[in-house]
Structure 1
Amino acid sequence: MISLAIAAAVAGVLMLGCWLVSLRLRDASIVDPMWPAVFVAIAWGLWLSSNEGGGRKLVLTAMVTLWGLRLCIHLTLRKRGEPEDYRYTAMRSRWQPFALWSLAIVFGLQALLATIVSLPIQAVLGAEDNSAVGWLDWLGGAVWAFGLIFESVADRQLARFRATQAHRGEVMDRGLWRYSRHPNYFGDFLVWWGIYLVAGAAGAWWTIIGPAVMTVLLVRVSGVALLERTIGERRPGYADYAARTSAFIPLPPRRSSGSTAQ
């Protein structure tokens, strides 16, 4: 319970501060780069409050930190110089007064979700167990590492594609994006299940709710499903790309009767 309280407090304070900054900037989408940073802060808050160290705790803290900092930096650089994301602008027009609504449905909700998703982190870093790293820890680390590399490569490929003027308005179907329409989200999915395996090695199998919630968010809520609702309108040729490309899990492209997407 102490670990849960620490995680909730860290997430709540950071999201409250982010909300106050968003009011000044009139940009609620700054919450996106803050999301991974919250998990890093939770991990370090739990690490510093822990009475004992240990190999597993050190490994998990490093895993969360590397993932969170990379994604935070990536999203911050992508956000730089850009206006408020269209998703939050649409919410701003529907929910008034948006200043108060955003505290609850954007920043408060993400603080709650971060507290739930971080349950495997809480279980490991808040435990007194100081057992040695075992084979399940290494398996979790391997899944995490593959996911982190997969996510990083996908993000890099998309960033380079978008930076090329000749590709403006076209559909990215190269590299990892040839096999999945959202390979970055698939990599994120692997990262969190890898973290869960480390928690399982510590006996905290009950924390499966954390990666399960993250999976639902990635596939059904704020990830794949949300983007798929409007991307076809913004990217000509996306329908043909979607017809031959797996939405989430990387698979060989299917044959399409339409023309090749750009």
Structure 2
Amino acid sequence: MNSWLLIAVIWAGSALVMAALWAFSMRVRNVGFVDVGWAGLMALAALLVGALGEGSPMSRSLVAMFGSVWGARLCLHLLHRVLNEEEDGRYQALRAAWGGSPSKFFWFFQGQALVVALFALPFVAAAQNPSFHSGLCTVLAIVVWLGAMVGEGVADRQLTRFRADPANRGQTCRTGLWAWSRHPNYFFEWLHWFSYVLLAVGGGLFWLSLVGPVLMFAFLYRVSGIPWTEAQALRSRGEDYRRYQQETSAFFPWPPRRAPRSPE
């Protein structure tokens, strides 16, 4: 299928799913389902691109596997959180700012459908590569994908265990990967997108593969990732999180530093 037609199909399908998910979320009063839907739709988009892309069978197979496994794991992780915790504080704040307006949330959900289509572009770039290479780039793509999957999974499990302990309520997780980065899950999610860049090397749509890491970094670092998450963390954990910000790298894993002492 033509690349742009494929993206249009993904966008249209995502818009319909997000409309249904919006109606459900408004009924149960939990906007967190938008994240579950986004991850699940990314998994389905990877499978669709793998099935209908015009590149080599191996390119399409790797895209389908990489994207679907990554998206399904993230979807199930987020679903467990949404079903077992109250609505994310970020969305509670958004609900308060918007006065609970259903129409504003509808367009918010539709914006996520557009984001699905945008992040499907790297899938298409890699899957449309007709000159699949079984050399260094492919090996590196597999290594990057595996490293990102393991890293993100470990970070999520460490945070889940920390949050499950009632003794940690109101405190900031500083164990494991969270001692080296304030958002190790975001870092590994961003790293995952380089696997499609490597798979797209040599293809005519290589430039589209760069949308993944570039756009994901912008979203995570400047738009809806770190800014939203840290604003909520400061509201809920105050001084403890401010100290964590001073001690720990925001995104890229790095050895923690000692926070400056306050003058007495």
TM-score normalised by length of structure 1: 0.89
Report the aligned-residue RMSD.
2.1
Instruction: Pick closer, same or farther for the CA change 1:128–1:240 going to 2, 3 Å.
Output: closer
Correspondent of 1:228 among 227, 230, 233: 230
Change (3 A) 1:64 1:163: same
In structure 2, what is the equivalent of residue 54 of structure 1? Answer: 57
For 1:230 and 1:16, how far apart are their aligned partners in 2?
26
Q: Does 1:33 align with 2:36?
A: yes
Question: What per-residue deviation string (whole Å, max 9, x for no partner) do you get for residues 89-124 of structure 1?
Answer: 3333333672221111x2111111111122110223
In 1, Cα distance between equivalents of 2:141 and 2:125 = 15
Amino acid at match of 1:12: A
Code of the residue aligned with 2:95 in structure 1: it is R
Match of 2:252 among 249, 253, 260: 249
**1:195 and 2:196 matched:** yes
Unaligned runs of 5+ in 2: none
Identity %: 35
Deviations 1:55-92 (A, max 9, x none): 11101110111111111111111111333323223333
Offset at residue 3 of structure 1 (A): 2.0
Q: Which runs of 5+ in 1 are unaligned?
A: none
How has the CA–CA distance of structure 1 residues 15 and 249 changed in structure 2, closer, same or farther, with 3 Å as cutoff?
same
Q: Contact between 2:49 and 2:124, CA under 8 Å: does it hold in 1?
A: yes
Residue 8 (structure 1) shift: 1.3
Give 1:240 deviation, angstroms: 1.7
Deviating more after overlay: 182-191 vs 113-122: 113-122
CA deviation after TM superposition for structure 1 residue 132, in Å: 4.5
* Range that drifts further, 136-145 or 180-189: 136-145
- Structure 1 residue 144: deviation in Å? 1.7
Could you tell which deviates more after superposition, 226-235 or 66-75? 226-235
Q: Which residue of 2 aligns with 1:116?
A: 118
Distance 1:243 1:52, change over 3 A: closer
Shift of 1:130: 5.8
Instruction: Tell me the residue number matched to 2:205.
Output: 204
Matched to 2:224, the amino acid is S
For residue 162 of structure 2, what is the aligned residue in structure 1?
161
In structure 2, the residue matched to 1:87 is 90
1:243 partner letter: Q
